[in-house]
Structure 1
Amino acid sequence: MNALEGLTDLGVSIWLDDLDRHRITSGNLADLIESKCVRGVTTNPAIFDKAVSAGAEAYAAQISDLTAQGKDVDQIIRRLTTDDVRAACDLFTGLWQQSGGVDGRVSIEVDPRLANDTSATITQAAELWSQVARPNALIKIPATKAGLPAITETIASGISVNVTLIFSVDRYREVIVAYEAGLVRARAAGLDLSPIQSVASFFVSRVDAAVDAQLE
Structure 2
Amino acid sequence: MTNVATLATTTPGEGAAATVPPLLRMARETPTRLWNDSATPAELSAAIGWGAVGATCNPVIALAALKGDLPRWQQRIRAYADEHPSASESEIGWAMVKELSVEAAALLTDAFTEHRGRNGRLSVQTDPRLYRDSTALAAQAVDFDALAPNVIVKIPATEVGIRAMEEATYRGVSINATVSFTVPQAVAVAEAIDRGLQRREAEGHDVSAMGPVCTLMVGRLDDWMKTVAARDVVTVDPGVLEWAGVAVFKRAYEIFTERGFRTRLLSAAFRNHMHWSQLVGGDVVISPPFEWQVRLNASGIDPVPRIDEPVADEVLDALYGRFPEFRRAYDPDGMAVGEFQDFGATRKTLRQFLVACTDLEAVVRDVLLPDPGK
1:8 and 2:6 are equivalent in the alignment: no
Say which of 118, 127, 131 aligns to 1:102. Answer: 118
Are 1:116 and 1:145, in contact at CA under 8 Å, matched by a contact in 2?
A: no
1:111 maps to which residue? 127
Residue in 2 aligned with 1:181?
195
Kept in 2: contact 1:116–1:144 (CA 8 A)? no
- Asked if structure 1 preserves the Cα contact closer than 8 Å seen for 2:166 and 2:193, the reply is yes
Q: Does 1:30 pair with 2:45? A: yes
Q: Secondary structure in 2 aligned to 1:201?
A: strand
Match of 1:17 in 2: 37
Which TM-score applies when normalising by structure 2? Answer: 0.53
Q: For the Cα contact (< 8 Å) 1:39–1:105, is it kept in 2?
A: yes
- Per-residue CA deviation, residues 8-45 of structure 1 (Å, 9 max, x unaligned), is 1123212211123xxx2xx5533431x23422111111
2:89 to 30, 55, 73: 73
Query: For residues 148 and 128 of structure 1, what CA distance do their matches in structure 2 show?
Result: 17
TM-score of the aligned structures, taking structure 1 as reference length = 0.89
CA distance in 2, matches of 1:29, 1:51: 11
Unmatched 5+ residue regions in structure 2?
Answer: 1-19, 230-235, 239-374
- Cα pair 2:36 2:44 within 8 Å, conserved: no
Rounded Cα–Cα distance in structure 2 between residues aligned with 1:48 and 1:171: 25
Counterpart residue identity of residue 25, structure 2: G
Deviations 1:29-79 (A, max 9, x none): 33431x234221111111122222332112122111111121222221222
C-alpha separation between the residues in 2 aligned to 1:37 and 1:75? 35
Which deviates more from structure 2 when the two are superposed, residues 153-162 or residues 56-65? 56-65
* CA distance in structure 2 between the partners assigned to 1:43 and 1:81 by the alignment: 10
Q: Of the candidates 129, 139, 142, which is equivalent to residue 126 of structure 1?
A: 142
Name the SS for the 1:146 alignment partner. helix
CA distance in structure 1 between the aligned counterparts of 2:51 and 2:61, rounded to whole angstroms: 20
2:65 pairs with 1:51:
yes
Return the match for 2:152 from 113, 122, 138: 138
The change in CA–CA distance for 1:196 and 1:103 in structure 2 (over 3 A counts) is closer
Identity %: 27
8 Å contact kept, 2:123–2:152: yes
Paired residues in the alignment total 208
Q: Distance in 1 between matches of 2:195 and 2:142?
A: 18
* Matched-pair contact (CA < 8 Å) for 1:109–1:139: yes
CA contact (8 A) 2:44 2:55 kept: no
Contact kept, 8 Å, 1:135 with 1:195, in 2: the verdict is no
CA separation in 2, counterparts of 1:52 and 1:82?
11
Distance 1:144 1:206 in 2: 16
Q: In structure 1, what is the Cα distance between the partners aligned to 2:21 and 2:77?
A: 38
Gaps of 5+ in 1: none
8 Å Cα contact 2:154-2:177 kept in structure 1: yes
Contact 2:119 2:211 in 1 (8 A): no
Query: Which structure's relative contact order is higher, taking Cα pairs within 8 Å and 6+ residues apart?
Result: 2
- Cα distance in 1 for residues equivalent to 2:156 and 2:224: 19
Runs of 4+ displaced beyond 3 Å: none
Give the conservation status (yes or no) of the 8 Å contact 2:56–2:124.
yes
**Residues 53 and 119, structure 2, Cα contact 8 Å, conserved in 1:** yes
Taking the aligned partners of 1:80 and 1:103, their CA distance within structure 2 comes to 24
Q: CA deviation at 1:100?
A: 2.4
- 2:53 matched to which residue of 1? 39
Higher-Rg structure is 2
Q: CA deviation at 1:167?
A: 2.4
What is the DSSP-based 3-state SS (H/G/I as helix, E as strand, rest coil) of the residue aligned with 1:192? coil
